[in-house]
Amino acid sequence: MYTLPDKQYWSGRIDSENDQNAFRLHQVMELKDVETLTENESAFGFVGFECEEGVRRNKGRLGAALAPNKIRQFLSPLPYNLERKLLDTGNVACEGQELEKAQEELGRHLHKLYSSSCTPIILGGGHETLYGHYLGARNHIGPDASLGIINIDAHFDMRDEPLPSSGTMFKQILEQDAHAGYLCIGIQEFGNTESLFQTADRLGCTYIYEEDVAANNFIKTFGEIDRFAANYDYLILTLCTDSIISYAAPGVSAPSPFGLDPKTVKTLLRYIAEKDNLLSFDISEVNPVYDEGDRTVRLAAYLIAEVLRHFNKKPTS
């Protein structure tokens, strides 16, 4: 189900009505029906995915379907310091247990954004958001272009289960798409069974353990990202917020006591966002029901802002 964007989520403090250098995101956010987009919008296009059916199937804590609108409220007052315009194109929602139908609808929505020269920014939702993200990107680039998926996550999400869920997406993709590849950053030994490591190795997944990400000032990690990115025509990026240490991100579907530090995640997002072949970004698994003092949703908003600020920006030497 598609719902139009709602102005109530984009409001807040106004420092100036005229000085653009004093504007905040809510002052420049345009609300658009995805069906009315023109061919050359040249904007960041936001879409929410109100879905947690994949989390339910994966036996996680429910509440992630509430995240898109909550994240909007915390993005709203942040300073506008971008060169691109911003569009909110509403939400795609999962009706009942129709996960696969919702993922297909998200993919169609994203294809419309790509076709309008928009850079999709997807606000999940459970991490099943990524499969809809993938469907939209694959449809946009065609069947023969190579697509690399970079996932910042404590978990592989490569379970072998009869029904798709928030824990199966990458296995689904790699088994059906010979032109797709997978890099997972932040993997935790206690977050994955030995069988999942074997599946990741069998399907050619590249992964970096959580304890190795920031070693040697990120030199090895950046090198791995560079090698992976160079092998693919296009990239998409997904952040699962359960990759972040639980004291900083308590409001997630599966809290992580040994997760990544928020500043480490910020560094990763900045570096990956600058890649010329990056198409789009999603953030998933924010769970407002279990958040404490809005810490997780506030952090999510700041991390999204970092991605916007650095998206395809030329890196400084």
Q: Which residue numbers belong to the known binding site for Mn(2+)?
A: 127, 153, 155, 157, 240, 242
Distances (CA, A) of 60 to 64, 119, 127: 10, 30, 11
- Residues tagged in the binding site annotation: 127, 153, 155, 157, 240, 242
**208: CB partners within 8 A, 6+ apart:** 183, 184, 185, 186, 187, 220, 221, 224
* 28 burial level (CB within 10 Å; 0-12, 13-18, 19+): middle
Of 237, 242, 218, 312, residue with least CA distance to 274: 312
* Segments of 4-126 assigned E as strands: 29-31, 43-50, 85-93, 118-124
Q: Is beta strand 43-50 parallel, antiparallel or unpaired with respect to 180-187? A: unpaired
- Inter-residue contact 235 to 149 (CB < 8 Å): yes
Q: Is the peptide bond before 48 cis (omega within 30 degrees of 0)?
A: no
DSSP state of 47: E
First to last CA, the chain: 46
Count H helices, E strands: the chain?
10, 10
Q: How many of the other CB atoms lie within 10 Å of CB of 198?
A: 11
- Inter-residue contact 275 to 308 (CB < 8 Å): no
Report the alpha-carbon distance of residue 268 to residue 29 in Å, rounded.
26
Of 232, 238, 276, residue with least CA distance to 144: 232
